[in-house]
């Protein structure tokens, strides 16, 4: 943990529920400041509290003092007010029995020094929570703390016979990552020299993103990271329940610490996570998982042979999707029942349906202009097999259903061509294969813990079930040229699969970017320069 001076602690205590623990909540900050703070935090090697001190409180040009208007007494009065409010909220909850009241109170929480396995468990709770995670694209993960690389020394692993081998394997991955940062940066600078009209800032950011994109495949899932989450009380209650019920000790520890901190700002909303009702729900979750495992034991669900899996496969969709969507469009402009309108749509000529659908799609000017909710009546289920690094980015989409299998090594590794191109393949493969060998051995004894060993370049399987409206958002966003090439490729394939079965729907996706780019972030960084220049003109230095 980072140590702060007494003066820094005094200042931080006004805005953080503690100054000496890795899990804490923000208080006394306007929502806009909290949002900006979490955004900056995701692209920094600093802790949230250090970012708050260095880049908000102590940075005069940030205007923090004027925005927040803090005084020495505000922190205390805020917490007193929260304690008084708890009695009121409890009366409302008991008097009306309406859990939705818990959605009226929210909190920002920072959860630091957790593994990439834990961030996925947190982000699995899609509704009511807005997570932001430290990016593998904008910061290097080669720092040490007290002479040690920053990865989780998981409780059960460190008590097992695998402990020494685990440390050696994780250190080798981080050593290799760290060793390749500088030489790969030089190679990228030679391949993509600074061109006219590009600022040093934009160029440096684009090169760093490229290097990070290539090297992230080496980072193990045990890599420690930070995540910030904003959510309402009901969503946090469910998140804590799921973490408490998880079999991994790391999850239970996060739940326990998070409940203490959330209890300081939204106490009435999270207290049931671990009371007699919460404990009962936790037991239900665990017993159900165990029973399902027992029932499924007779089926042959595992294959030890190497997997050959399509990266993207459209598993199912509705044959009558067009009629369903047309009926929903008609519904808004009618007083007939949906059943009657579906029958009407079914009997329409193809040309009639097409005319209605194209008018509903409209003349879209950018990807943010999406067709309306009638498009939520068509659904697609995609089976995906891609590397864990790409999954981390894709999983953050919340208006859909997705589930993943355990992270492992049997589905192969996405090896970046740049490592071979510049002569770094031998070192990289040695570290990767070393981790894979350990994973296979650990998987027999502790399958959940074995996930921590796996580098982000290994593939896993998951599925995504989404409606048509979400496919517009997902495919257009994730095909953008500045995105990571791994998930861009998957977005392209999803578009092509959808185009085969529903070409009319696909024709409305005007902003799917199928182009190729070598230095993905450069154009986006140039746009950032332009925005910075505009802000300078508007507000001065």
**Which has more confidence, 535 or 354?**
354
The pLDDT of residue 76: 52
Confidence tier at 92 by pLDDT (50, 70, 90): very low
Residue 167 has pLDDT above 80, yes or no: yes
d(CA 84, CA 78) in angstroms, rounded, equals 10
The pLDDT of residue 307: 56
**Could you tell me if 114 and 227 are in contact, meaning their C-beta atoms sit under 8 angstroms apart?**
yes
d(CA 229, CA 307) in angstroms, rounded, equals 36
The pLDDT of residue 148: 97
Residue 84 has pLDDT above 70, yes or no: no
The pLDDT of residue 71: 42
pLDDT tens by residue, 431-447: 999 999 999 999 999 99
**Which has more confidence, 20 or 532?**
20
Domains of the chain: 6-135+224-293 (3.30.1360), 152-223+416-456 (no CATH), 314-404+460-510 (3.30.1360.170)
Q: For the chain, give the number of residues.
A: 541
Residue 209's contacts (CB-CB under 8 Å, 6 or more residues apart) are 137, 138, 520, 521
Residue 341 has pLDDT above 50, yes or no: yes
pLDDT tens by residue, 51-74: 999 988 888 776 777 666 644 445
**Strand pairing category for 129-133 and 401-404:** unpaired
> In whole angstroms, how far apart are CA 517 and each of 76, 210, 449, 478, 496?
53, 11, 37, 14, 19
207 closest CA partner among 195, 190, 191, 189: 189
Residue 306 has pLDDT above 60, yes or no: no
d(CA 490, CA 478) in angstroms, rounded, equals 9
Stretch 135-150: mean pLDDT: 94
To which H or E segment does residue 278 belong? Answer: helix 276-296
Query: Half-sphere exposure (CA, 13 Å, Cβ side) for 198?
Result: 18
Helices (H), 147-228: 155-158, 163-191, 200-215
Give the least confident one: 6-10, 59-63, 171-175.
59-63
Residue 20's contacts (CB-CB under 8 Å, 6 or more residues apart) are 1, 9
d(CA 324, CA 328) in angstroms, rounded, equals 6
d(CA 175, CA 179) in angstroms, rounded, equals 6
d(CA 449, CA 247) in angstroms, rounded, equals 10
**Which has more confidence, 76 or 418?**
418
Stretch 207-229: mean pLDDT: 96
Average pLDDT, the chain: 90
Confidence tier at 296 by pLDDT (50, 70, 90): very high
Task: Give 3-state DSSP helix, strand, coil % of the chain, rounded to 5.
Answer: 55, 10, 30
pLDDT tens by residue, 229-265: 999 989 999 999 999 999 999 999 999 999 999 988 8
The pLDDT of residue 72: 43
Give the least confident one: 57-61, 371-375, 519-523.
57-61
> In whole angstroms, how far apart are CA 170 and each of 150, 302, 415, 465?
10, 27, 18, 35
The pLDDT of residue 202: 93
Stretch 124-132: mean pLDDT: 91
**pTM for this entry:** 0.87
């Amino acid at each position: 943990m980072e140590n702060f001076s007494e003066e820094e602690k005094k200042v931080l205590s006004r805005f953080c529920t503690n100054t000496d623990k890795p899990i804490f909540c923000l208080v006394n900050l306007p929502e806009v400041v909290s949002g900006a703070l979490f955004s900056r935090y995701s692209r920094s090697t600093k802790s949230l509290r250090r970012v708050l001190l260095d880049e908000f409180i102590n940075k005069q040009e940030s205007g923090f003092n004027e925005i927040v208007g803090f005084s020495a007494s505000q922190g205390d009065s805020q917490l007193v007010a929260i304690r008084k409010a708890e009695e009121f909220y409890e009366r409302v909850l008991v008097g009306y029995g309406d859990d939705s009241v818990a959605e009226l109170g929210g909190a920002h929480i920072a959860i630091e020094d957790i593994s990439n396995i834990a961030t996925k468990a947190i982000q699995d709770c899609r509704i009511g929570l807005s997570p932001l995670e430290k990016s593998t694209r904008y910061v290097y993960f080669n720092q040490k703390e007290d002479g040690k690389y920053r990865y989780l020394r998981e409780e059960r692993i460190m008590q097992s016979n695998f402990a020494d081998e685990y440390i050696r394997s994780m250190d080798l991955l981080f050593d290799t990552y760290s060793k390749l940062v500088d030489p790969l940066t030089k190679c990228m600078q030679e391949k993509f020299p600074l061109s006219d009209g590009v600022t040093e800032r934009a160029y440096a950011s684009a090169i760093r993103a490229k290097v990070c994109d290539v090297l992230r495949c080496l980072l193990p899932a045990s890599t420690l990271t930070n995540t910030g989450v904003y959510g309402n009380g009901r969503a946090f209650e469910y998140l804590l329940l799921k973490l408490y019920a998880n079999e991994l000790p790391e999850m239970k520890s996060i739940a326990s610490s998070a409940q203490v901190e959330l209890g300081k700002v939204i106490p009435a909303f999270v207290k049931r996570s671990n009371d007699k009702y919460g404990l009962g729900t936790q037991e239900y979750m665990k017993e159900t998982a165990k029973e399902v495992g027992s029932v499924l034991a007779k089926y042959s669900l595992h294959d030890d042979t190497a997997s050959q899996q399509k990266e993207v496969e459209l598993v199912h969709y509705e044959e009558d999707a067009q009629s369903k969507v047309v009926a929903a469009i008609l519904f808004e402009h009618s007083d007939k029942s949906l059943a009657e309108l579906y029958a009407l749509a079914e009997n329409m000529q193809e040309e009639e349906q097409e005319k209605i659908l194209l008018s509903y799609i409209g003349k879209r000017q950018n990807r943010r202009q999406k067709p309306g909710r009638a498009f939520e009546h068509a659904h697609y289920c995609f089976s995906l097999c891609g590397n864990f690094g790409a999954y981390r980015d894709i999983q953050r989409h919340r208006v859909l259903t997705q589930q993943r299998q355990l992270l492992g090594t049997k589905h192969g590794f996405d090896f970046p061509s740049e490592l071979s191109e510049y002569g770094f393949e031998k070192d990289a493969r040695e570290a990767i294969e070393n981790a894979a060998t350990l994973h296979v051995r650990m998987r027999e004894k502790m399958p959940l813990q074995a996930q921590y060993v796996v580098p982000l370049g290994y593939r896993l399987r998951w599925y995504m079930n989404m409606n048509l409206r979400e496919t517009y958002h997902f495919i257009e966003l994730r095909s953008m040229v500045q995105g990571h090439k791994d998930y861009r490729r998957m977005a392209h394939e999803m578009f092509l699969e959808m185009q085969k079965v529903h070409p009319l729907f696909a024709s409305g996706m005007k902003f799917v970017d199928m182009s190729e780019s070598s230095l993905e972030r450069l154009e986006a960084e140039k746009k950032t320069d332009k925005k910075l220049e505009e802000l300078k003109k508007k507000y001065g230095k």
